[in-house]
Amino acid sequence: MTRDGQREATRRHRAPKPPKHLADLTPGERDLWAEDLGLPRMRARQVARHYFARLEREAAAMTDLPAEGREQLVARLLPELLTEVTRRTADGGATIKALYRLFDSAALETVLMGYPGRVTLCVSSQAGCAMACPFCATGRDGLRRNLSSAEMVEQARLAAALTAGGGLGPDVPRRLSNVVFMGMGEPLANYRAVMTAVRAMTAPAPAGLGLSARNLTISTCGLTPGIDRLAGEGLAVRLALSLHAPDDEARDRLVPINRRYGVQATIAAAHRYFQATGRRVSIEYALIRDVNDQAWRASLLAERLLQYGRGWVHVNPIPLNPVPGSIWTASRPAAQEEFRRRLEMAGLTVTMRDTRGQEIDGACGQLAAREVDN
């Protein structure tokens, strides 16, 4: 282990844990917890129904619980985990970025995006991140701690409640449909908690939030053992791989974990994920001017992806959202166009990712980072 790794491990070890919450547990464990607290088993189920099916955590609204002790019961099973600090909107109200404070004053952010046919929430899996990708705002301050499962589920519960209340405006469905683990943190570095959260998000109500696993995306910078482990879970979640370069020279710099798991090994793991699950893998590629946006890199990217054939992958280039103080900036439009053209000519499907909420620092840890800087 490197010295940084040791420091990181010590810090994580010492970090106090967020209070235990129903959403940290499987339905069977919830019953046992109620019993341990000296309550009838059905209490855990009643509270879970309010939380997951009605998106409610106000004790006063849970009138089927005995009035006596109701407040204490709810405070115990559904402790407050996220306190909203700021909320900013863009795109005519259809994009909402929220910054939350956690029990230990760590911060996390979410971005909720409403479209005519779907509502997508970008969730965080860690407070900070240890991966240190130099173009990403979250990576600059390192990892503070892993989030608990319930801290992840609660991000989705709050967003689902806001969506159900019509908070994204009239042109958007009133149901949260998609969750992408593309907020702060590396989800595969917090593997167990992320899996528990995924299960709570996808279990049918009232045991869970009832989202479709097919509409969940786990985005990773390429922890290949984690990708293989995920492939064995029997879940239909989508995998996004943050590749950002087709060659080790550029990727070593952009995504430092590449020095351990190189480009070819990472693409191979992504392809194994496709083989195991049948889900098409998304390749994320932030286009950075004169760093990774050359036409020859588009051709090399196509060659390396197509060594496994055509239908298994699609590419999502996104112009870099520049981080304040960084020397890097977004590619020129002509370079973006040429990059896309080369990929398409080679036979890949390409979707230029939209840059929702850019004016509210909608991308990639920027709001939380700014808050920490101030």
| Least distance CB 221 / ligand SAH (angstroms) | 4
Per DSSP bridges, beta strands 95-101 and 83-90 are antiparallel
Binds ligand SAH by CB under 6 A, chosen from 47, 263, 291, 364: 364
Q: Does 152 bind ligand SAH (CB under 6 A)?
A: no
Question: What is the rounded (10 degree) CA torsion for 91, 94, 97, 100?
Answer: 160
| Residue 68 zone, left/alpha/beta (φ > 0; ψ -120 to 50; rest) | beta
| Least distance CB 204 / ligand SAH (angstroms) | 27
Give the interface segment with ligand SAH, choosing from 42-50, 143-151, 229-237, 313-321 (CB under 6 A): 313-321
Q: Does 136 bind ligand SAH (CB under 6 A)?
A: yes
| Least distance CB 133 / ligand SAH (angstroms) | 6
Query: Residue 143 carries which DSSP code?
Result: E
81 or 133, CB closer to ligand SAH? 133
Instruction: For residue 129, indicate whether it is catalytic.
Output: no
State whether residue 125 is helix, strand or coil. coil
Q: Does 242 bind ligand SAH (CB under 6 A)?
A: yes
CA dist 30 → 37, 176, 353 (Å) = 11, 25, 40
Q: Which of 109, 151, 154, 186 is catalytic?
A: 109
Place of tokens 């950075």: 288
| Least distance CB 73 / ligand SAH (angstroms) | 36
Question: Under 8 Å CB-to-CB from 29, ≥6 apart: which residues?
Answer: none
Binds ligand SAH by CB under 6 A, chosen from 363, 367, 368, 369: 363
# residues contacting ligand SAH (CB under 6 A): 18
Q: Does 318 bind ligand SAH (CB under 6 A)?
A: yes
| Residue 185 zone, left/alpha/beta (φ > 0; ψ -120 to 50; rest) | left
Q: Does 331 bind ligand SAH (CB under 6 A)?
A: no
Instruction: For residue 221, indicate whether it is catalytic.
Output: no
Contact (CB, 8 A) for 339 and 331? yes
Give the interface segment with ligand SAH, choosing from 21-29, 111-119, 167-175, 317-325 (CB under 6 A): 317-325
Mind giving me the DSSP string for 56-121?
---GGG-TTS-STTHHHHHHHHS----EEEEEEEEGGGTEEEEEEE-TTS-EEEEEEEE-SS-EEE
Q: Does 284 bind ligand SAH (CB under 6 A)?
A: yes
Q: What are phi and psi of 142, to 5 degrees?
A: 75, -175
Q: Does 113 bind ligand SAH (CB under 6 A)?
A: no
Contact (CB, 8 A) for 96 and 89? yes
* Contacts of ligand SAH in 192-231 (CB under 6 A): 219-221
Q: Does 121 bind ligand SAH (CB under 6 A)?
A: no
* Contacts of ligand SAH in 18-47 (CB under 6 A): none
Q: Which residues bind ligand SAH (CB under 6 A)?
A: 131, 133, 135-136, 182, 186, 219-221, 242, 284, 286, 318, 320-321, 323, 363-364
Which residues does the annotation mark as catalytic?
109, 364
